[in-house]
């Protein structure tokens, strides 16, 4: 292979890899499944790191009755705790 072709191929692969990473990160926050909806909500509250790490998990059957009185409903909890308090700066 010629030097120019390798250089062109290397640039093209970098561009494709960068585009793939950007699209993957954007799809992480599109709310078409429950875990992405949770991530989007946390991101909107201003917690980007927690939004990437968070996701819902089903509550154990032993705790479901405490929430609704009905054991047949599905209930979820967020895996990563985060604060929803707004801190105001004095400056």
Has residue 27 been placed in a domain?
A: yes
Check: CB of residue 46 under 8 Å from CB of residue 88. no
Has residue 40 been placed in a domain?
A: yes
Has residue 91 been placed in a domain?
A: no
37: containing domain: 3-78
Domains identified in the chain, total number: 1
The CA-to-CA distance between both ends of the chain, in Å, stands at 60
Q: Give CA–CA dist 56/39, Å, rounded.
A: 9
Q: What is the mean pLDDT of residues 77-82?
A: 71
Q: What is the model's pLDDT at position 54?
A: 75
pTM of the model: 0.47
Has residue 59 been placed in a domain?
A: yes
Has residue 65 been placed in a domain?
A: yes
Has residue 45 been placed in a domain?
A: yes
Q: What is the model's pLDDT at position 15?
A: 94
The single-letter DSSP state of residue 72 is: T
Check: CB of residue 54 under 8 Å from CB of residue 42. yes
Per-residue model confidence as pLDDT tens digits over 29-78: 777 777 777 777 777 777 777 777 777 777 777 666 666 666 666 667 77
């Amino acid at each position: 292979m010629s030097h120019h072709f390798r250089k062109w191929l290397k640039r093209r692969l970098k561009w494709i890899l960068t585009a793939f990473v950007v699209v993957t990160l954007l799809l992480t926050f599109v709310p078409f499944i429950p875990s992405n909806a949770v991530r989007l909500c946390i991101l909107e509250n201003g917690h980007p790191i927690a939004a990437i790490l968070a996701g819902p998990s089903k509550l154990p059957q032993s705790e479901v009755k405490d929430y609704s009185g009905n054991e047949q409903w599905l209930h979820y909890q967020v895996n990563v705790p985060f604060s929803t308090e707004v801190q105001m700066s004095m400056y």
